[in-house]
Amino acid sequence: MRIDGAVALMTGENRGIDAAVVDALAKNGASKIYAAARDPRTVRHTPASCRCASM
């Protein structure tokens, strides 16, 4: 699968396999990654290149 320039939507980003998938998407060239968590305060890990916003 080609990731370069892709836009991804991840739910449950703050734990386990989803956090690893977000890292892999970022490392492999995804242009945007929308990651969601029920409680933004529980997000423990974000790649250095990510910008975070809460709604």
Q: Spell out where the chain has E strands.
A: 7-11, 32-36
pLDDT, residue 19, reads: 77
pLDDT, residue 55, reads: 46
Tally of domains in the chain: 1
pLDDT tens digits for range 5-55: 999 888 776 667 877 888 888 889 998 888 777 777 776 655 555 665 554
Whose CA is closest to 20, among 52, 55, 44?
44
37/13 Cα distance (integer angstroms): 6
Range of the domain at 24: 1-55
